Copies of this chain bind each other. A is one copy, B any other.
Amino acid sequence: MYNDKVMDHFMNPHNVGEIENADGVGTYGSPVCGDMMQISITVEDDKITDAKFKTFGCGSAIASSSVATDMIIGMTIDEALELTNKQIINELGGLPAVKVHCSVLADHAIKSAIYDYAQKT
């Protein structure tokens, strides 16, 4: 059901946790499954320098957030805002159709963390 890259990011997820004194923190809850995702970021000179995620969600949510946080670290705020759910899934090498809603958690929580950062600055 899941490819090797998804399994790998599920077994050894990157960027798990919560950044203390983050510049932006975003949460998003899935209307499909009820799972929550929190993403915290630090920003310097308009660039995302660190990102971490926390979730009680499923393996697909974990794998998606693992690659998505990897992807946004080093991006500018504008680049991260343009990141699509489809790009996250492509980076993972695909997800089963019934599990696409899990990757939406990462996508929305990133946007929410950026809005939180923007509101503060």
How many chain copies does the complex carry? 2
Q: In the complex, A2→B56 CA distance in Å? A: 9
* Chain A residues at the B interface, C-beta cutoff of 8 Å: 1-2, 10, 32-36, 56-61, 96, 98-99, 101-102
Q: In the complex, A102→B33 CA distance in Å? A: 9
- Is A35 a contact of B56 with CB atoms below 8 Å? no
Q: In the complex, A32→B60 CA distance in Å? A: 15
Q: With contacts A32-B32, A34-B96 known, is A59 near B60, CB below 8 A?
A: no
Residues of B within 8 A of A56 (CB): 1-2, 10, 58-60
Q: In the complex, A96→B34 CA distance in Å? A: 9
Which of A10, A33, A61, A98 has the most chain B CB within a 10 Å cutoff? A33
* Contacts A56-B59, A58-B61 supplied; 16 other A-B pairs, CB < 8 Å: A1-B36, A1-B56, A2-B56, A10-B56, A32-B32, A32-B33, A33-B98, A33-B101, A33-B102, A34-B98, A34-B99, A34-B101, A35-B99, A56-B58, A57-B58, A57-B59
